[in-house]
Amino acid sequence: NKIIELKQRPTGKPSLNDFEFTEEDMPQPKDGELLLQTKYVSVDPYLRGRMRDEKSYIPPFEIGKPLESGIIAEVVESNNSNFKKGDFVNGMLQWKQFQTSNGNGLNKVDRKNAPLKAYLGVLGLTGLTAYLGLEKIGKLQKGETLLVSGAAGAVGSVAGQIGKIKGCRVVGIAGSEEKIDQIKEKFSFDAAINYKTTSNMKKAIETACPNGVDVYFDNVGGEILDAALVNMNKFGRVINCGAISLYNKTETQTGPRVEPLLIKNSILMQGFIVRDFVKDFGPAQKQLGKWMEDDKLNYLETVVEGFDSIPQAFIDLFNGKNKGKMIVVV
Ligand code: NDP
């Protein structure tokens, strides 16, 4: 049974050397337990934070122990009356081909309602992050302008489409021409900016958002956030959802001092952790599912094959290799 462990804490950008591939005997489920076979593995930027030895909203990974993330697994043996062989479950599970579980924290998923992989993306944590970030902090109103960074990614592509559903002007920021075309064509963004080829982001945002920015859904932080802040309208809201441009930095960052602008415009900037809103997951998932059924919400996945590919798929998030949700199929 193959396992992937954290070998050492990455310095800067993670590399394959930070991961250890090991094996163990096949686990045997005890009374009340299940044997699970890993099918789909979610790799996510926030896992980089868990590789640091720092206190956060979720405990750090330990060196020499298996990594974990959102996984869809098949029940291949069950000694637990709540689950039967052939069920598929979704939960925070270890990077192992097979593992046992007592069933706590696992949710059954039904492939009749949606493809199983969708429960790791648009109907899973990334879709919920987009929906609840906009709902709880963005409070987006019809006719407003929504700016989204990481716009071709799992969270950003859903956030932008929700903006369109709500009747807003939506502008996306992403890192390649292909992604720019895609978010405009597949996800109906009104305009898009390639931050890798744009020398003056402040000006580019101003041009793409002639009425200013009412809500900025920030997935990247850093210089793109700085450029967005100076374009915010009075009573604008900034959702600090992610800061991937800073996750691999080794020193604390400082940025331009724009506080007077924030004060003058009464800007609200708030950090957001989707797990603080677990009680809202059910209705949010229902709404996302309904929009999918009605063909209002599309999604993209980048699917990488093979258990051994999990670390590289994770590293490639920082290389912008994914369009939509990055998933490993085992
Ligand atoms: P994505 O699918 O968006 O994948 C990451 C993308 O980030 C890459 O494809 C790349 O796209 C972009 N990126 C990588 N490096 C940089 C950089 N230096 N500057 C700008 N963009 C970069 O991931 P997710 O949708 O899963 O996550 C998006 C953000 O949301 C992350 O910051 C994540 O941590 C956060 N998040 C927060 C949650 C919460 O509860 N607060 C929950 C889930 C996610 P490109 O080619 O455009 O550069």
User: What residues does each domain of the chain span?
Assistant: 2-121+300-329, 125-275
Give the position, in ligand 1's atom list, of the atom nearest the Cα of 242.
Answer: 32
What is the fold, at CATH topology level, of the domain defined by 125-275? Rossmann fold (3.40.50)
- Dist. CA 205 → ligand 1 center (Å): 19
Chain segment 242-289, per-residue pLDDT in tens: 999 999 999 988 888 999 999 999 999 999 999 999 999 999 999 999
- Dist. CA 318 → ligand 1 center (Å): 8
In short, whether 301's Cβ falls inside 6 Å of ligand 1 is no
Give the N- to C-terminal CA distance of the chain in Å, as an integer: 13
The alpha carbons of the chain give a radius of gyration, in whole angstroms, of 20
pLDDT of residue 255: 87
**Which DSSP string corresponds to 104-132?**
TT-EEE-TTTS-GGGGGTTTSHHHHHHHH
Coil, strand or helix at 75: strand
pLDDT of residue 177: 98
ipTM higher than threshold 0.95: yes
pLDDT of residue 63: 97
What is the fold, at CATH topology level, of the domain defined by 2-121+300-329? Quinone Oxidoreductase; Chain A, domain 1 (3.90.180)
pLDDT of residue 253: 87
Report the distance separating Cα 275 and Cα 291, nearest Å: 22
In short, whether 240's Cβ falls inside 6 Å of ligand 1 is no
Give the position, in ligand 1's atom list, of the atom nearest the Cα of 243.
Answer: 32
* Residues in the chain where the model's pLDDT stays below 70: none
In short, whether 46's Cβ falls inside 6 Å of ligand 1 is yes
In short, whether 159's Cβ falls inside 6 Å of ligand 1 is no
Chain segment 13-53, per-residue pLDDT in tens: 999 999 999 999 999 999 999 999 999 999 999 999 999 99
In short, whether 133's Cβ falls inside 6 Å of ligand 1 is no
pLDDT of residue 58: 84
In short, whether 273's Cβ falls inside 6 Å of ligand 1 is yes
- Tell me which residue has tokens 């051994």: 308
Report the distance separating Cα 202 and Cα 119, nearest Å: 36
- Dist. CA 266 → ligand 1 center (Å): 27
Report the distance separating Cα 329 and Cα 74, nearest Å: 13
pLDDT of residue 292: 95
pLDDT of residue 79: 97
In short, whether 327's Cβ falls inside 6 Å of ligand 1 is no
List the residue whose alpha carbon is closest to atom 7 of ligand 1: 150
